[in-house]
């Protein structure tokens, strides 16, 4: 939605209420946004890493099913015959990657916790970097520490 792309910080008041109301009326709005090619291709991406970055809004969108509507070609590369557009036009990141690139650790944490570490080792589609690569390259030490902490906790829970 345009209000997320043009925002100068988290949405508040009537803008936030309007966005939530529109999503409740039409949950398909959480799917891929119909805009010219952009890495922030869904409302979840825009709330995670765009100008309106907001951890509470991201959490609300997740509760509304946003994790199930983001493009999944980053997790497993689609076959050429299944593509409706050239590969180079596919967005390169999941929402968690976009938040890590932008340096929004609190939003990365929300996405990690909601997605049960599914995207921990998922690579960015075009560049083949994981979250650890991004954190080191972008000097986002807290994201790297968060990832290591979650990985170690996940391993110890497994045995």
Report the CATH number at residue 45.
Answer: 1.25.40.20
Taking Cα atoms as reference points, which of 153, 158, 105 lies closest to residue 131? 105
- What digits encode the pLDDT tens for the residues 30-55? 876 555 545 677 888 888 888 888 99
Quick one: pLDDT band at residue 57, thresholds 50, 70, 90?
A: very high
Containing domain of residue 31, as a range? 2-71+89-158
Judge whether 80 lies within some domain.
no
Judged against a pLDDT cut of 80, whether residue 143 lies above it is answered with no
pLDDT band at 68 (very low <50, low <70, confident <90, very high): confident
Residue 17 belongs to some domain of the structure: yes
Q: Is residue 113 part of a domain?
A: yes
Q: What is the pLDDT of residue 56?
A: 92
Question: Does residue 82 form part of some domain?
Answer: no
Domains contained in the chain, number: 1
Residue 84 domain-assigned (yes or no): no
Q: Please give the Cα distance from 64 to 113 (Å, whole number).
A: 15
Q: Has residue 77 been placed in a domain? A: no
Q: Using H for helix, E for strand and C for coil, what is the string for 95-123?
A: HHHHHHHHCCHHHHHHHHHHHCCCCCCCC
Is pLDDT above 80 for 133?
no
Encode pLDDT of 78-128 as tens digits: 566 655 555 555 555 677 777 877 888 888 888 877 765 555 556 554 556
Percentage of residues of the chain with pLDDT beyond 70: 50
**Is residue 143 in some structural domain?**
yes
79 within some domain: no
The CB density around residue 109, as the number of other CB atoms within 10 Å, is 17
Tokens of 51: 């100008």
């Amino acid at each position: 939605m345009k209000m997320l792309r043009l925002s100068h910080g988290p949405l508040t008041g009537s803008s936030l209420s309007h966005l939530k109301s529109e999503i409740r009326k039409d949950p398909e709005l959480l799917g891929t946004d119909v805009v010219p090619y952009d890495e922030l291709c869904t409302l979840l991406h825009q709330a995670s890493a765009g100008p309106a970055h907001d951890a509470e809004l991201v959490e609300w969108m997740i509760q509304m099913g946003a994790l199930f509507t983001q493009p999944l070609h980053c997790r497993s590369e689609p076959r050429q015959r299944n593509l409706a557009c050239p590969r180079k036009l596919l967005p390169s990141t999941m929402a968690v990657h976009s938040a890590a690139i932008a340096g929004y650790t609190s939003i990365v944490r929300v996405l990690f916790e909601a997605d049960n570490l599914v995207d921990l080792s998922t690579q960015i589609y075009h560049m083949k970097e994981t979250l650890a690569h991004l954190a080191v390259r972008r000097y986002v030490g807290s994201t790297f520490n968060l990832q290591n902490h979650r990985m170690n906790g996940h391993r110890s829970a497994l045995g």
